[in-house]
Amino acid sequence: MTKTIKTLLSAAALILTTFTFATGANAASTKKASVSTIQRRTALTYSYAKKMIKTNKTGLSGNASSIFSKKLYPESGASAGYSDFLLGLKGNGYKFTTNEKNLLRKNLVVRGNSPAATLANAVMAVQAMGLNAQNYKPYGQKRGINLVSRLYKTSITNQTASAQSQALIAISMSNKFKQPKGAKFSKASLSNRLVKVQLNNNGWTYNNRQGTKDADTTAMALTALSRSKSSASNIKTSIQKGQQFLFDIVQKNGTFGYTFNGKTTPNANSTAEAIIALSNDSATKKYVNSSAMKASQTATPLYAMLTYVNNTGSIKKAATQLYGVGQVNLAIAAYKAALKNRSVYTIN
The answer to whether the CB of 68 falls within 8 A of the CB of 77 is yes
- For CA atoms 255, 241, 217, 136, the dihedral sign is negative
Residue 189 C-beta-side C-alpha neighbours within 13 Å = 9
* Helix (H) or strand (E) segment spanning residue 256: strand 256-260
For residue 218, what pLDDT is reported? Answer: 98
- Angle of CA points 21, 30, 247, to nearest 5°: 25
| Ranges of each domain in the chain | 3-339
Topology of domain 3-339 in CATH is Glycosyltransferase (1.50.10)
Q: CA–CA separation, 294 vs 60, rounded Å?
A: 38
57 bridge partner residues = 66
Q: What is the model's pLDDT at position 260?
A: 82
Element (H, E) at 325: helix 321-339
CA dist 2 → 74, 102, 243, 246, 344 (Å): 19, 27, 19, 17, 20
CA distances from 231 to 51, 97, 188, 215 (A): 42, 39, 10, 24
Residues of the chain predicted below pLDDT 50: 1, 3-27
Per-residue pLDDT, 15? 31
Ordered DSSP codes for 257-298: EEEETTEEEEEHHHHHHHHHHHHTSTTTGGGTTTS-SSTT--
Residue 19: its pLDDT value, please?
33
Q: Coil, strand or helix: which one is 94?
A: coil
Q: How many angstroms separate the CA atoms of 335 and 260, rounded? A: 28
pLDDT at 173: 98
DSSP 174-214: -TT--PPTT-S--HHHHHHHHHHT--TTS---TT--TT--B
Distance CA 92, CA 168 (A): 23
Composition of the chain by helix, strand, coil, percent to 5: 45, 5, 45
Could you tell me how far CA 187 lies from the centroid of its own chain? 18
Q: Would you state the pLDDT for residue 6? A: 46
pLDDT at 207: 81
| pLDDT for the residue 158 | 87
pLDDT value for 147: 98
Q: Which residues contact 118 (CB under 8 A, 6 or more apart)?
A: 75, 76, 109
Number of Cβ within 10 Å of residue 325's Cβ equals 31
Half-sphere exposure of 142 (CA within 13 A, CB side): 0
Q: Between β-strands 256-260 and 263-267, what pairing exists: parallel, antiparallel or unpaired? A: antiparallel
Residue 210: the pLDDT is: 80
